[in-house]
């Protein structure tokens, strides 16, 4: 009889754990952002339940060769950590990715990501995380894009410097004569 009670307790505990995980939801989203000024702030505020997860995708297009510097932060006021940012990555249209660097985790989560020499393409930032409490949570970030001159631009710059040097030398020779 004592063995049946232990079995029943174990079965009840297993059902309780399974029921708790059944309530966890995926609260992901996908949005497109525009990098018109070379920089954009993005973020999300959501009301979710403890245990819910998200894989938010922020889509954008890079029209020229460039460098990207991006960050995401989540700060929790009070004594309880409400959100855990678990990943921050950049993907291109072929699915190749570059992972961000976790700088700080806890009541204040902070991730950074820096790249160079990205070609014109469609990209997206993927932010993954877990909701730790049943309250309104939020995170935010910034994407900065710096244009990188194409090799032809450097060629024109060097040619211009060569012409300016030739003209300066020619003027010097004309004054000496």
Has residue 66 been placed in a domain? Answer: yes
Has residue 12 been placed in a domain? Answer: no
Has residue 42 been placed in a domain? Answer: yes
Has residue 57 been placed in a domain? Answer: yes
> What number is the average pLDDT over the span 145-171?
63
CATH of the domain at 133: 2.60.120.380
Range of the domain at 70: 28-151
Give the per-residue pLDDT at 56. 97
Task: State whether residue 66 is helix, strand or coil.
Answer: strand
Take residue 85 and report the two structure tokens written for it.
């940012």
Has residue 169 been placed in a domain? Answer: no
What's the structural domain count of the chain? 1
> What number is the average pLDDT over the span 141-148?
88
Give the per-residue pLDDT at 63. 87
Has residue 177 been placed in a domain? Answer: no
Q: Give 32: exposed, middle or buried? Use CB within 10 Å, 0-12, 13-18, 19+.
A: exposed
CA distance 44 to 108: 16
% pLDDT > 70, the chain: 69
Has residue 79 been placed in a domain? Answer: yes
Q: How confident is the prediction for the chain on average, in pLDDT?
A: 81
CA angle 171, 176, 177 (to 5 degrees): 100
Take residue 173 and report the two structure tokens written for it.
């020779």
Q: What is the pLDDT of residues 33-43, one digit of tens each?
A: 987 778 899 99
Residue 13, pLDDT > 90, answer no
Has residue 90 been placed in a domain? Answer: yes
pLDDT band, residue 117 (cuts 50/70/90): confident
Phi, psi (deg, nearest 5) at residue 78: 95, -165
Note the residue count of the chain. 177
Give the per-residue pLDDT at 79. 76
In this structure, the number of other CB atoms found within 10 A of the CB of residue 73 comes to: 18
pLDDT band, residue 75 (cuts 50/70/90): confident
């Amino acid at each position: 009889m004592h063995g049946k009670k232990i079995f029943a307790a174990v079965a009840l505990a297993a059902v309780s754990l399974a029921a708790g995980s059944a309530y966890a939801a995926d609260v992901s989203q996908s949005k497109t952002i525009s990098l018109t000024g070379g920089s954009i702030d993005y973020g999300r505020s959501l009301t979710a339940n403890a245990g819910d997860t998200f894989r938010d995708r922020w889509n954008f297009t890079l029209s020229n060769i460039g460098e990207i510097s991006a960050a995401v932060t989540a700060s929790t006021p009070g004594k309880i950590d409400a959100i855990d940012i678990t990943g921050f990555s950049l993907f291109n249209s072929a699915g190749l990715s570059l992972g961000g660097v976790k700088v700080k985790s806890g009541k204040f989560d902070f991730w950074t990501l820096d790249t160079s020499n990205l070609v014109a393409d469609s990209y997206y930032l993927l932010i993954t995380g877990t909701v730790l409490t049943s309250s309104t949570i939020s995170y935010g970030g910034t994407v900065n894009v710096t244009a990188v001159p194409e090799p032809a631009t450097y060629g024109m710059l060097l040619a211009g410097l060569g012409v300016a040097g030739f003209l300066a030398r020619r003027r010097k020779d004309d004054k000496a004569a």
